[in-house]
Structure 1
């Protein structure tokens, strides 16, 4: 499992955007970057800078996954037939931790990674504790019986700040979710604009 070494909200502030749409994000109060030089006037980014920023934002959104793993996902998307940028999004959204987060079983993508890693989730009846596990269309993801009444799980299902997207069918009474289809960029409810086309340009240099 990839380990997050920096505070998650530093990602928000470095990007200058509330990338998860959370009300507690410090970007809501301080839109400048962290550190003593954070308030310096920003220069215009080069094409490379824009591409790097797009990659950092997308990678950070999914729990700041490692560069090695993110590159592996890109290479897989590039091998598949179709639009690489759309496939990249689809593969990222097929991760088990991403589906747990989208289904609103937990409040944050970071919590989703920990939730899966601690063995609280089953896929098609089998316990899976690998956050990066690739789910297939039709897979049924379920919170284990002993975990269904955890307070933070019940609270997450009631969060009003985001909805379950159409490509996931969630039943919060049974605590199950079905992965109905691999989404495209327009289907994913990102709180900010994501630019996977720039990520593809970054790796295509």
Structure 2
């Protein structure tokens, strides 16, 4: 089991948003946060609080990465030429677990991390079991043949909750996905608004 599988919807409630757009999210029924103080009136966030919330939301979306992992990705994005927020999104979307999730091989980003870690995925024909592995343009990600009849794969393939983005070429019959290009923020099908510019502001000040 991955670290947050059993408690993933606490992230939704903490953020006050259904960040993956799933019908099962408890935020659809109760919009207040978890815990005994969750129903207290929300105060207006400070600039710091707004920036922190943006960082927590983006970090949580990709399987609740650790702060060390997320900061390392941000630092790399900062070194790249171009808009740091856009570079950050591009690096996050190039993670192997993100590609597996976007291709609808599994139903959740948490399941994607576990699926990769358990060796069910290949990249260009070679098995890769590192969720943070970074795919390149033209790489072909596939579900191993012996794993294609797993219940979570069948569930994800039949789900209408989300569509595959156009920066992936997905073959639903062969369960392969070609990473066509690194997406910009506007290309990524987030269920809620993500604000990487606020993440950049947060790290610039802290």
Q: Name the structure 2 match of 1:49.
A: 49
- Give the CA deviation at 1:5: 8.1
Distance 2:154 2:33 in 1: 34
Q: TM-score, normalised by structure 2?
A: 0.97
With 77-86 and 146-155 compared, the bigger mean Cα shift is at 146-155
Distance 2:8 2:113 in 1: 13
Q: Name the structure 2 match of 1:24.
A: 24
Partner SS state of residue 97, structure 1: helix
Structure 1 residues 197, 6: closer, same or farther in 2, change over 3 A?
A: farther
Q: Name the structure 2 match of 1:131.
A: 131
Distance 2:155 2:74 in 1: 34
Unaligned runs of 5+ in 2: none
- Give the CA deviation at 1:34: 0.3
Instruction: Report Cα offsets for 1:136-195 as digits up to 9, x if no partner.
Output: 111000100100121221221121010000001110100100000000000000000000
Task: Kindly report which structure 2 residues correspond to 1:85-124, keeping only aligned pairs within 5 A, or say none.
Answer: 85-124=85-124
Q: Name the structure 1 match of 2:81.
A: 81
Cα RMSD (Å)? 1.3
Distance 1:63 1:5 in 2: 9
What is the number of residues matched between the two proteins? 205
Q: Name the structure 2 match of 1:8.
A: 8
Q: Name the structure 2 match of 1:58.
A: 58
Distance 2:144 2:90 in 1: 26
Q: Report if the CA contact (8 A) 2:5-2:110 is conserved.
A: no
Partner SS state of residue 173, structure 1: coil
Q: TM-score, normalised by structure 1?
A: 0.98
